Amino acid sequence: MASSTMQLHSLFILFILLICNSSATTQPSSKHYVVYMGGSDHHEDEGGDEAAELAHLTLLSSIIPSDESERLSLIHSYNHAFKGFSALLTESEAALLSDHDEVVSVFPDPTLQLTTTRSWDFLDAQSGVESHHVYGPDHASAQDVIIGVIDTGVWPESPSFSDEGLGEIPLRWKGVCMEGHDFNKSNCNRKLIGARYYNVIEDSLELNSKKSNKSTTPKKGSGSPRDLVGHGTHTASTAAGVPVANASYFGLARGTARGGSPSSRLATYKACNEEGCSGANVLKAIDDAINDGVDIISISISMSSIFQSDFLSDPIAIGAFHANQKGVMVVCSAGNEGPDTSTVVNSAPWIFTVAASTIDRVFLSSVVLGNGHILRGSGINFSNLTRSKMYPLTFGRDVAGTSVPLSEASNCYPGSLDAKKAAGKIIVCINTDPTVSRRIKKLVTESARTVGMLLIDEASKEVAFDTGVFPFSQLGDIEGMQILKYINSTKNPMATILPTMDMKRFKPAPVVASFSSRGPGQLTETILKPDVVAPGVGILAGMAPKGEEGIPFGKKPSNFAIKSGTSMACPHVAGIAAVLKSFHRTWSPSMIKSALMTTATMSNNLGKPFTNNTDNPASPLEVGAGEVSPLRATNPGLVYETTSKDYLYFLCYYGYKPKVIRSVASPDFTCPKNSSEDLISDINYPSISIRSLQARRSVRTVRRTVTNVGHANAAYIVSVNSPTGLDVTVRPQELLFDEKTMKASFEVSFSSNGAKKGYNFGSLTWSHGLHSVHTVFVVNII
């Protein structure tokens, strides 16, 4: 009887637990959402942060039932340059908020991606004069320019952030140096003048744990501005690092490492970690940076091109729009999803979008075959192999595991190699499946106890892969065929891989990086993106010294690292923009952008049009206006000023409702009566993109206005470079400027006279004396 009672009791307890678990699973789950409420219309004396948070909590409480008030979970309040907040919401609550009149958009917090010495010398050489003759590290006015870097934080001890020789911090600076784990206020100085961090994930866990009473709060001090990834330190030092003599990455790329604007101040905003970046974090960082007083914001972060949001549901686009309204320039990476077309991201016209190119330095990891032939490969390895000893050389498919498809072993898939057969040999892998990265192939061959790996992959060979002490070399198709032919024709093929050497003054350069995302933009083809290209391959810059595997024996972690990506290209342009800002304090972000675009070059160091990674001529869909030329940009002659009205018209033409646009910008704004996407081509942008032009009997005319920032009494004459069959007419053909700051307008008409279908590229150039104002155009013939 007692046993029976116990069984019933146990069943009852089990039943109750099942009911509880069942009801728990049916409760709607909360996710992190961003609620964007448009432009900020309050003044700082109207309550500030506390008043904004109270208003946001009040709005939240209006859609969350009173019996669930413990779920009120405000995470961020945005109230400086724009209005809004982020919070934990259910899907239905997010829908309710989106119906509020004061709400512009509500969207799930997206996870954004990080788009991860010699480069400045190379840009100077391309300009024809060394930049330190024009603006050096002691350029006084640059000390008043502040660059905000939104990334993974900063390693403050890096020699790139020394404040020696810098004057007092600009009085207009309102930012802070937040303390955190292993970071205190003394880590900031006259160079690194501010540091913030954002812990959305931890905050969300803490808020979600209120009902369960389980402690998911992070350990005290876990948050910090300190960079534990290295990406943020690298980008910040590229933008504004001070000159550091004799810098190198374990002896490679030795020289003086410096940023684009060495005298400018830096403020860092840690919105990311190694797993990515919370969009809500990034939006909060932009809001803070604007309020802190930065002049330039550098963001080497992007959405995936596959999951691009429209402009008013994209945290970077939203923040950058309001930054631009406040006179703050935002420079962003174009993405690392090339060479596929339509992969460019950060494509809003108010963002300066930067693609990546090579410089004239390469990292050679040569392969010596048993027959004495030496093949040039690329890679960064610090192995101890030498010419004096050879090792067995074999193709991956020849050491395949049991029942493994030969194609998988050839590509060195995980689990595809027989370790007993592969051990002690140099393995040759191919890359017909790009889903298996170089890093995975390296781990596969290394775990099989091989001596080293040779990778045959033409597409990405210009981007040297760092394998530490593991012997590695990447070769192109021609060299790859020679290796496979040698293996197949030799009884006992042998080889060795030599440690890396760097070679300067390599030609041709620049070349568009294979990984650099290409246009046209997915959201609209009527704005040409990317805007420009800048060095983004094999860039030496500051690094968080980490005790990683692969450090050469007997060496300490390096203060510098060699990285590639549009992440590296972006801060190059941010640094140059800071220099231009220091020379021209009254210039708007669009004037600086125009100066950099209209003076960009399309020539390489052979004096020929530069190419992409397939040796074909680079097109504006890959490089925009061309590669930035820092020195020419300081004196562009004429600039296109894209005004706030242009950007608002862009939103009209794109299809947003006038009511939404009024919330974003101005309550009295009115869209033009005629609003269609094709009219986006008419906004005063420094390039021209016509998304569709009929092949027969069709004319498209656009209008542009330029402002004279050169000498008075100047006459500019136009010349046109257009492809066969595309008729381009400019009216008038001469622009006269009696005074400096005088404006003049012109029209450009396009018509097809047998032009090939698809994208046609060309340019028009306004010339006066030493000034050549170059404007590229793209016309899609349908």
Catalytic residues: 151, 231, 567
Q: Say how many C-beta atoms besides its own lie within 10 A of residue 508's C-beta.
A: 17
| Terminal Cα-to-Cα distance of the chain (whole angstroms) | 88
**Closest C-alpha to 56, from 97, 95, 92, 28:** 97
CA distances, 123 to each of 261, 502, 628, 773 (Å):
14, 18, 8, 19
- Burial group, residue 228, by CB count within 10 angstroms (0-12, 13-18, 19+): middle
* Token duo for residue 468: 């530490």
Q: What is the CB neighbour count within 10 angstroms for residue 585?
A: 10
The angle formed by the CA atoms of residues 642, 648 and 650, to the nearest 5 degrees, is: 75
Residue 72 and residue 208: Cα distance in Å, rounded?
10
H/E run at residue 653: helix 644-654
Using DSSP bridges, classify how beta strands 638-639 and 699-708 pair: parallel, antiparallel or unpaired: antiparallel
In this structure, are residues 750 and 782 in contact, taking their beta carbons and an 8 Å threshold? no
Q: Which residues pair with 197 in a beta bridge?
A: 270
Q: How far is CA 106 from the centre of its chain?
A: 24
Q: What are phi and psi of 729, to 5 degrees?
A: -120, 130
**CA 340 to each of CA 255, 334, 519, 533: distance values in angstroms, whole numbers, following the listed order:** 35, 13, 9, 16
- Interatomic CA distance for residues 346 and 307, integer angstroms: 12
Residues in the chain: 782
Kindly list the distances between the CA atom of residue 75 and the CA atoms of 35, 41, 229, 328, 514, in Å, as whole numbers in the listed order.
Answer: 11, 22, 24, 25, 39
Q: Tokens 């972006």 label which residue?
A: 570
- Map residue 56 onto helix, strand or coil: helix
Q: To which residue do tokens 């997915």 refer?
A: 522
Q: Does an H or E element contain 292, and which?
A: helix 279-292
For the beta carbon of residue 452, count every other beta carbon within 10 angstroms. Answer: 26
Query: What's the CA gap between 536 and 336, in Å, rounded?
Result: 11
Compute the half-sphere exposure of residue 718: CA atoms within 13 Å on the CB side of its CA: 20
Q: What is the layout of strands, in order, in the sheet containing 374-375?
A: 374-375, 367-369, 494-497, 391-395, 426-430, 452-456, 472-475
Does residue 671 sit in helix, strand or coil?
A: coil
Using alpha carbons, select from 484, 496, 472, 489 the residue that is nearest to residue 368. Answer: 496
